[in-house]
Amino acid sequence: MAKQVMIVELRGKTEVRRETVNVAHLHPMQLPDFLGSQGVSTVIAGGVDRYLQELLRLRNIEVIWGINGNVDEVMAVHLRNGLQLGMGLCPPPRGRRRRRFRGVHI
């Protein structure tokens, strides 16, 4: 889970405010409630667990995952309505790849 989130306030297509917030103290399942309390309507992330995605959606927070890169560039594309679900690839895991065998993780 991310240790920090950046909350960007928009008015129309204009960025009004940007704030980095430490969320390391939160349990991952507390994140949707916290983001909702901050007025967040969209989460843009490299990866979001499916269960967490559902919790966010239940709080009317749109999830756009698979996005990584420079924040300024990502926001510029987002403001042009150019971000799409899964359009960017998360970097591959480092080291040995995990393989699944009948529900057992190796």
- Largest separation between any pair of C-alpha atoms in the chain: 50
In a domain, 106, yes or no: no
In a domain, 104, yes or no: no
User: CA-CA distance, 83 to 71, in Å (whole number)?
Assistant: 13
In a domain, 8, yes or no: yes
In a domain, 27, yes or no: yes
In a domain, 26, yes or no: yes
Can you give the pTM of this predicted structure? 0.76
User: Any residues with CB less than 8 A from the CB of 82 and at least 6 apart, and which?
Assistant: none
Q: How many domains does the chain have?
A: 1
In a domain, 17, yes or no: yes
Question: The domain that contains 43 carries what CATH number?
Answer: 3.30.420.130
- CA nearest to 32, candidates 16, 9, 10, 51: 51
Question: Which of the pair, 103 or 43, is modelled with greater confidence?
Answer: 43
In a domain, 56, yes or no: yes
User: CA-CA distance, 100 to 106, in Å (whole number)?
Assistant: 6
Q: What is the span of the domain harbouring residue 81?
A: 4-89
pLDDT digits (tens, 9 = 90+) for 72-88: 989 998 998 878 766 65
How long a stretch of residues is the chain? 106
